[in-house]
Amino acid sequence: MKNRLKLISGTANPKLARKIAKYLDIPLCKVDISRFSDGEISIRIAENVREKDVFIVQPTFSPAENLMELLLLIDACSRASARRITAVIPYYGYARQDRKDRPRVPISAKLIANLITVAGASRVLALELHAAQIQGFFDIQVDNLFAAPVLLKYIKKRKLKNVTVVSPDVGGIKIGRAFAKRLNSNLAIVDKRRTAADASEVMNVIGDVKGSDIIILDDIISTAGTITQAAEALRKEGAKRIIAAATHPVFSGNALERLKDSCIEEVIVTNSIPFEDPGRCKKVKVLDVSPLLGEAIRRIHTGESISKLFI
């Protein structure tokens, strides 16, 4: 396997890529990534990838240079005659506009899918896409991994009592229900209204949370508005301990301050996006998804089942 599989890292999350390489017991493929003096990205694959099974690890969080770098890496591998190119995207950026819900808005999640496909990707390996239907925006194969096994393993070690899993919006009910089932717990929902692209307001808590230990489950924490407002509403309804779990720590604006000042006891996230400053908010616990991604890469390479990872 080892001489046919090539693992390439962009500059967005090299630490995660190194951990995946360690899991797979292979070195990272050598690439030169630098900048022209005007800021444009210069890429060169510094090893032969002809007829290789190439996996490129690059989450596409902001700035858009991360996406651009991914596209250039795919193009470079394609022109270097790689046999198959898998874009490994632990965080798929621009996913939140996934439908035309108002006049004159783009469907950015579809546009990004087009760009990745046109660049020459043969398939995509993603982690916790914002909406499962984004898979259908691609006409190439997509494996969308769930972070649940990683989050659940950690949460099960916490001594929580009378647990209720809470989805902070209706979009997360399906994943919340699956999570609650695995914890043998109840499910509640926060009825959220988005007032602007980056602002929301809690309307109601649906379900009984009085006296419960709560796990608020979301895919993304960006401004932390959603999760902290949900926590506040749950506290008012009589919830006891409140823990937040989300796959992608986007942490934009003053998210960390908000989390620090909130009634949330612990914020569990993964390393899909690098979070390098844990000192600023001691509540944040980062879980490692490299074994999950590494195992998925190994299985794609050898043609084994991915769904078995989630049974």
Q: Would you say 9 or 200 has its CB closer to ligand R5P?
A: 200
Catalytic residue among 2, 110, 192, 285: 192
171 interacts with ligand R5P by CB under 6 A? yes
Residues 93-132 that bind ligand R5P (CB under 6 A): 96
Tell me the C-alpha distance between 45 and 156, whole Å: 43
218 interacts with ligand R5P by CB under 6 A? yes
- Quote the strand ranges of 128-234, DSSP E: 141-145, 163-167, 186-196, 199-206, 213-221
Tell me the C-alpha distance between 164 and 269, whole Å: 19
Tell me the C-alpha distance between 109 and 95, whole Å: 5
Which span sits near ligand R5P by CB under 6 A: 51-59, 98-106, 216-224, 295-303? 216-224
Q: Would you say 120 or 171 has its CB closer to ligand R5P?
A: 171
CB 152 within 8 A of CB 162: no
Least distance (Å) from ligand R5P to the CB of residue 250? 7
Which span sits near ligand R5P by CB under 6 A: 73-81, 87-95, 167-175, 276-284? 167-175
Rg (CA), the chain: 20
Q: Would you say 55 or 91 has its CB closer to ligand R5P?
A: 91
Give CA 228 to chain center in angstroms: 20
State residue 285 phi and psi, 5-degree precision: -115, 120
CB 131 within 8 A of CB 144: no
Among 116, 224, 233, 268, binds ligand R5P (CB under 6 A): 224
**# residues near ligand R5P by CB under 6 A:** 15
CB 46 within 8 A of CB 23: no
Q: Would you say 56 or 224 has its CB closer to ligand R5P?
A: 224
187 interacts with ligand R5P by CB under 6 A? no
Tell me if residue 192 is catalytic.
yes
> Could you list the residues that contact ligand R5P (CB under 6 A)?
96, 168-169, 171, 198, 200, 218-226
